Amino acid sequence: MSVRKLSLAGIMVAMGVTLSTFYIPIGVSKVFPVQHFINVLAGVTLGPLYAVCMAFVTSLIRNMLGTGSLLAFPGSMIGALLCGLLYRYTRKTGFAFVGEVIGTGVIGALVAYPVAAMLLSSKAAFYGFILPFSISSFAGAAISVTFLFAMKKTGVLSENTYQKLESK
C-alpha cells in the first residue's frame, strides 16, 4: 500500500464528508453530486479497490455524523466499483462516467430497495430509487469528467498517472 495513494484517498474521503451538505435542488428532489464526483476521481486515479473503500468510509462517516443514510452504501460502493473497473480495463474517462451512472443510478438503486424496505421500513417502489440516484450520479460524474479533462489538458494528470500510482 503506497503512502501517496493512502494520503490521496484520505483527502478524497474528507472532501466527500465535508462537502456532502452541498446539494442542487432539481424539482422535488435534491441532488448530492459530491460522492459521485469523488467516486469517479478515485476510480480513475486510484483504482477500483480504493474507490470502493473510500465510498464505504465516506458513507460510514456520514451515517455516524447523521448527514447520510443507509442508502448511500449500496449506491456509492457499486458505482465506485463499476467506475474503477471500467476505467482500469479501458483507460477511457467516458467509461468511468458510464460506470458510475449505471453502477449507482441503476444497479445501486435496485440494491438500495431491499435496504430501504427491510431496514428503513420504506414503502418506495422497487424502481423508485432509479431516477433520483441516476440524476445525482449523472451530475456528479459529469462534473468529475469535466474536472479530469481539465487536469489532463493542463498536464496535471497524464494518461499514465494511474500506472504510476499503481507501481508505488
Categorize the per-residue pLDDT at 2 as very low, low, confident or very high, splitting at 50, 70 and 90: confident
Categorize the per-residue pLDDT at 148 as very low, low, confident or very high, splitting at 50, 70 and 90: very high
131-153 burial code (b ≥16 CB/10 A, e <16): ebbbbbbbbbbbbbbeebeebee
- Cell numbers representing residue 90 in the block: 479501458
- φ and ψ at residue 29, rounded to 5 degrees: -105, 160
pTM value is 0.87
pLDDT tens sequence across 89-111: 999 999 999 999 999 999 998 99
How many angstroms separate the CA atoms of 101 and 34, rounded? 13
How confident is the model over 141-149, as a mean pLDDT?
94
How confident is the model over 24-32, as a mean pLDDT?
64
How confident is the model over 66-89, as a mean pLDDT?
91
- φ and ψ at residue 150, rounded to 5 degrees: -65, -40
How confident is the model over 114-125, as a mean pLDDT?
77
